[in-house]
Structure 1
Amino acid sequence: MSAHQSLLPPGWPRPRGYSNGIAASGHMIFTAGIVGWDENEIFQRHDLPGQFRQVLENTLAVLAEAGAGPEHIVRMTWYITDRKEYLASLSDIGAAYSELLGRNFPAMAVVEVTGLVEAAAKVEIETTAVIPAASR
């Protein structure tokens, strides 16, 4: 069962890789800003695609604690430290996204920032998920 409905106003082109808006109801889960370190808070990868994959793995681990999976994600805000590296890495980022999150396209924003609190972090992502009431 889908946790949400993608919102697409009439006549608008379908966005690629995200949704303009999501309607959802049920049990909501919010993550903190999650970075690409391992469970011991050590950055094993220092490239954006590697950290991005770790962020998604970490996010899925947190969501699983509430019984949620990638199909329940309705919103993500990505904070990246280098727009050029992000654009150059889109193929690897897309591959990791597809492998770990599948064909779920939540409402998303990608924001370039001058730095993150964890100096070695290249990406930090906040996620909102909704588990439908019927699924609980």
Structure 2
Amino acid sequence: MRILQPPGWPRPRGYANGVAARGELVFVAGMIGWDTDGIFQTTDITGQVRQALRNVVAVLAEAGAEPAHIVRMTWYVTDVDAYLQASQEIGAAFREIIGSFTAAMTAVEVSRLVEPDAKVEIEVTAVIPESVSEAQS
């Protein structure tokens, strides 16, 4: 994976402007903060982010991918103010579950998500490096 940082641009905090990678592509649908039984264990955004990230990791594992293979994330949040207020706790959950690496990321506030109780939905694209993909074949 190669981080794309145009010369002279300020370095973004917590994400990359772009990422280039080669290998097997893995697309993870929008994961929300419910558990494996489809139940929300919490209504707070940090708890839902934590569970949504766990769900992302579980889907990645099905493809033989790891969080370090994530190259792009899109976050849909229903309340950007709540997201910003919880940014330290969300960042800690991210580092605990995903790790500290840089992916191209976008966060967008939406008026609602399909699941009414969801406060966040996270989509992911990952690239399993060619050497890892070939070893798994």
Q: Same fold by TM (over 0.5)?
A: yes
CA RMSD of aligned residues (A): 0.6
Q: Distance in 2 between matches of 1:91 and 1:133?
A: 35
The match for 2:28 is: 31
Q: Distance in 2 between matches of 1:91 and 1:11?
A: 28
What do residues 26-70 of structure 1 show as CA deviations (whole Å, max 9, x unaligned)? 000001111000001000111000000000000000000001111
**Runs in 1 of length 4+ with deviation above 4 angstroms?**
none
Structure 1 segments unaligned to the other structure (5+ residues): none
Q: 1:67 aligns with which of 60, 64, 69?
A: 64
What's the secondary structure of 2:29's corresponding residue?
coil
TM-score, normalised by the number of residues in structure 2: 0.95
Offset at residue 88 of structure 1 (A): 0.6
Q: Distance in 2 between matches of 1:77 and 1:114?
A: 16
Q: Distance in 2 between matches of 1:26 and 1:71?
A: 13
Offset at residue 126 of structure 1 (A): 0.5
The match for 1:48 is: 45
Offset at residue 14 of structure 1 (A): 1.0
Q: 1:132 aligns with which of 123, 129, 134?
A: 129
Amino acid at match of 2:78: T
Offset at residue 100 of structure 1 (A): 1.0
Give aligned-pair identity as a percent. 59
Q: Distance in 1 between matches of 2:122 and 2:33?
A: 9
TM-score, normalised by the number of residues in structure 1: 0.96
Q: Distance in 2 between matches of 1:60 and 1:29?
A: 12
User: Equivalences for 1:1-136 in 2 at 5 Å?
Assistant: 4-136=1-133
